[in-house]
Structure 1
Amino acid sequence: MSALDVRRETLGALAAAIAAKALVVWWLAQSGADFALGQYVAGAAFVSQLEGRPDAMLMLACLLPQAIFVFLACDFVPAGLTTQASCAMPRLGTRTAWTARRTLTLAALCLDYVLAGNAAAALVLALTDAGGLPAGALSTFAASLPLELLASLILTLLANLAALWIDAVVSAALVLGVHAAALMGLAYAPLAAAVPVVPWLPSARAVLAWHDAAGMDVAGSCALLAVLGLLAALALARSVARCDIL
């Protein structure tokens, strides 16, 4: 699916995001494989109230790989409108069909990023720790993977949606800025004040560590994020249908 209409630049974005994830995990693993697993994979960096003071640099480092992917894929749909849509839409019949195919390809890219990125992260942890993966690593990866996948897809869809109307880089910066502000704001808030807010913030729902801290169910968060992703895809399709193709 993804090879049908993925541009070389988008595949480059995938490779860059995966490399960034491996590099961030390696950097964190210098303080121990368990530290990297908890802070990055489980997202404990964003629930600093449980362990000490928040570390802004640590949180930004944890956000970096996903941000690279979103930034470099933020014009996947808008770019296709100018380079492919005039030829593809007559064959597919409607703009909705074209957008659906484009969205499925974007979802496949997100899946590739998350699967390959987590495989690279697990490899780095295994190589860093002479005893192999830390205890509980497989269950942590398994629980965090669907959350990361859905969050990455939602952020990328929203960035593409905004890029239909404003500059693509600005759209990605806006979406990622709101996402980062929500997570970092919760990290700096007192735990008693943050816990009641967490279930209402999709950004926090994507962090595994917040599920333990706030008593949330991972399956419920996956269902909620899936619904939000579907709504974002429908909004994107509706916006594409109203856009002028130059």
Structure 2
Amino acid sequence: MLISVPGTGMMAERYGDPESQVWALHGWGRSRRDWEPVLFDRDAVSFDLPGFGATSAPDTPWTTLDYAQALLAGLPDGQTRVLAGHSFGGRIAIQMAALAPQKVRALVLTGVPLLRRSGGGKPKVGYRMARWLHAHQLLGDARMEAYRQRYGSADYRAAVGVMRTIMVSAVNEDYADQLRMIAEAGIPVVMVWGADDTEVPVAIAQAARGILGEAAELTVVDGATHQLDDHLAEPLRAALRSVSA
């Protein structure tokens, strides 16, 4: 059932009981429907985050912290939720748990860029030069956009307006401090990762687990990649059962 979640300004799919115990957050460029194979028989809400699916984009560029605050506004004091986050949605879930640990019962994460990858490299020389020329008004907007389309990722090329700014902000974030806060708060964290995830390799999850310590579990799923596919559905369902018991 598609609903409007009070206090958040967001649309979401509701599964089961209205007093949903799980809030699920999708990845960049995705929608609430990604979580259906995981949540179909649970009491849960799967959000369309602002700028995706049935929820309109923000008027101004948001950070992941802004997304987190908007979601927390819909969760009254005294209530807690298990947060399930994939990729971009996991970034937001991490921010929510660090900001309001008293409202987060547990985290279930998959394919989340929890830490910035070292050795990622700089943009190609041609693109860096184009940006310099554009910044100094020596290259027009149309030509600059052509360079963005040529050198940017698929997600970057698809994003327009405020959503492109949001994406650029998000991919430059690192959550080591938030992970430490979550560990200190004792929030259980279960990570379910695709063994063949090349966008956010298992090494990222392993490094995050080193920060989280005993509060974290990591399951690596053979045959799974980055997206929420059939390989990940049952392991994620098992993870939710383990933190909802």
Coarse TM-score class (shorter-chain normalised) = under 0.3
- TM-score by structure 2 length? 0.24
Higher relative contact order (CA 8 A, sep 6+): 1
- TM-score by structure 1 length? 0.24
